[in-house]
Amino acid sequence: MPASLARTLDSTRFPVIERRLDNGLQILLLPRRSVPAVNYTTFFRVGSRNEEPGRTGLAHFLEHMMFNGAEKYGPKEFDRTLESVGGTSNAYTSHDLTVYFEDFPSEALETVIDLESDRMRALALAEDLFESEREVVKEERRYRVDNDLFGTMEEALASLMFSTHPYRWPVIGWMEDLDASTRQDALRFFRTFYAPNNAVLVVVGDVDPERALGAIEAAYRDIPPGPPVPAVEAVEPEPTAERRTRVDFPSHAPALLLGYRALPATHPDTPVVEIIETALGAGDSSILMERLVYETELASDVHVSHDLRIDGSVFMVFADLPPGGDVSRVEGAIYEELSRIADEGLPAEALSRARSIVRASLLQSLAANGGIAHALGEHQVVFGDWREAFRVIDRYQAITPEDVRRVARELFRDANRSVVTVVPEAA
């Protein structure tokens, strides 16, 4: 590894201050003065995996409601107050986490602390706003899933891959559940999962650490802790055969989405899967881009992703085919490449290339306050220690061709695969 990189990616170069309040709230704070701005990110350990059938989409719906008024700052006041101090805010919900973040000029820190602690303490969930927000979420679903090729395919893939675990439903939820959810459901969900003991707050940027910590503690310390969060107990049975479906979607060209059940995010072999992901799909000179797009032209584009999840990650390969393209040939070519890795591991050159890319992307993500906050927070929530964000670099370094072979052989088994295709009717 280049020496400059080794020095930079050492966790001791990041003087993170850690605190835990009596109510369980964990705080990570990193002063950094590159620009006069601050990123303030709150991670809640809740996502669609914590939902119940019939009420899918509730975690994401509640994320929307978090912007619709609490006790001190009423409806519409969250964003108005934030924008009037020059800040901006957004949030996202995944299968495992719900994350809220603000970026703002340094002098707005106290306002942001006030806003965020207000909605953690006492969300209003006003009835009329709940109804209009329901329509907004349904529009989001129409946009992202119902009228979108990849969204439709991804939803079909989850239904194939999982039969028991909540990962079988989409984060945005089924349309009928969005219609069925009530304010009471949302309130119960909020009380269960949005307590300080289920949250990690990360502040990165131009702050005076002692003053910031004092203000945070004063604002959050009277928020009572919630009950222990119910564990997700569903265990997905091992797949015994390949699963396959053809989705009906009015499309001009065929498309293919493969999913393999991968390891839990905290599994020691997860970095090996990340290396395989990078070798296969990151950049135009990756294995699948070269083979499918440039050498054979079987596909016009390929995306490889590895969605890290607490109860079992999902490894996906998505290929866009040219009109009239042959899905089975694309599948065949992909399986050949995956089998090659399972049989032989990765050639030294490909392994070194993948290592260089994952290291460089980690470094790139550390160039902005928001990227640092995400790296620290995600690792704190998922691994229980933000330092894991840096330790992974040593893990990448230690991976051998034999590790790659062993992990790929288990991952790319036929029985571990689910396949979703879209083929235009005329074809």
Partner 1 sequence: MRPVELPPRVEFTLENGLRVVAAQRRELPLVSLLFVTDAGSSRDPFGKAGLASLASELLLRGTKKRAPGEVTRAIEAVGGRIDAAADRDRAYVSVQALAEHLPLALEIVADVVSSPLFDPRETEAARRRQVAELEQSKDDPAAVARRNLLAAYLPPDHPYAAPVPGWTSSVSRIGRADLVDFHRTSVAPQTSFLVVVGDVDADEVRRLAENCFGDWKGPGHGGHLPPFPRRTRPKVRAIHKEESTQTQVRMVGPAELRWKDPIFFPAMVANVAFGGGFTSRLVNEIRVNRGLTYSVGTAFALLRGGGFFSFSSFTKNETVGELLSVLLQESRRARENGFEPDEIERAKRYLAGLYPLGLETNEQVAAAIAETILFDLGEDWVPRYRERVMAVTPMQAAEAAARFFFADPFALVLVGDRDAIRRGIEDAGIDAEIEDLPLDEAA
Tell me the sheet residues that pair with 257. Answer: 318, 420
Nearer to partner 1, 161 or 330 (CB): 330
Distance in Å, CB of 201 to partner 1, minimum: 20
Distance in Å, CB of 93 to partner 1, minimum: 14
Nearer to partner 1, 147 or 397 (CB): 147
Tell me 320's DSSP state: E
Nearer to partner 1, 63 or 193 (CB): 63
Task: List, as one string, the DSSP characters of 31-78.
Answer: E--SSSEEEEEEEES--GGG--TTSTTHHHHHHHHTTS-BSSS-TTHH
Distance in Å, CB of 398 to partner 1, minimum: 18
Distance in Å, CB of 49 to partner 1, minimum: 23
Asked if 51 and 180 touch (Cβ cutoff 8 Å), the reply is no
Distance in Å, CB of 395 to partner 1, minimum: 17
Nearer to partner 1, 70 or 366 (CB): 366
Distance in Å, CB of 233 to partner 1, minimum: 33
Compute the chain's Rg from CA coordinates: 23
Distance CA 182, CA 113 (A): 29
Nearer to partner 1, 68 or 416 (CB): 68
- Torsional sign, CA 133, 98, 354, 414: negative
Nearer to partner 1, 94 or 369 (CB): 369
Distance in Å, CB of 142 to partner 1, minimum: 4
Distance CA 87, CA 93 (A): 21
Distance in Å, CB of 177 to partner 1, minimum: 17
Distance in Å, CB of 324 to partner 1, minimum: 9
Here the tokens at position 204 are 């990165």
Q: Which of 19, 40, 32, 33 is nearest to 85 (CA)?
A: 40
Nearer to partner 1, 133 or 269 (CB): 133
**Amino acid of residue 83:** E
Neighbours of 286 (CB within 10 A): 21
What residue has token string 């950049």? 283
Nearer to partner 1, 360 or 415 (CB): 360
Asked if 265 and 313 touch (Cβ cutoff 8 Å), the reply is yes
Asked if 193 and 229 touch (Cβ cutoff 8 Å), the reply is yes
Give 280: exposed, middle or buried? Use CB within 10 Å, 0-12, 13-18, 19+. Answer: buried
C-alpha separations of 368 from 247, 364, 382 in Å = 40, 8, 21
Element at 249 (helix H, strand E): none
Nearer to partner 1, 7 or 221 (CB): 7
Tell me 393's DSSP state: H
Here the tokens at position 67 are 């912007």
Distance CA 380, CA 218 (A): 23
Nearer to partner 1, 7 or 20 (CB): 7
Alpha-carbon torsion angle 119, 120, 124, 129, nearest 10? 60
Distance in Å, CB of 61 to partner 1, minimum: 12
Element at 113 (helix H, strand E): helix 109-121
Distance in Å, CB of 24 to partner 1, minimum: 31
Nearer to partner 1, 40 or 193 (CB): 40
Asked if 264 and 242 touch (Cβ cutoff 8 Å), the reply is no
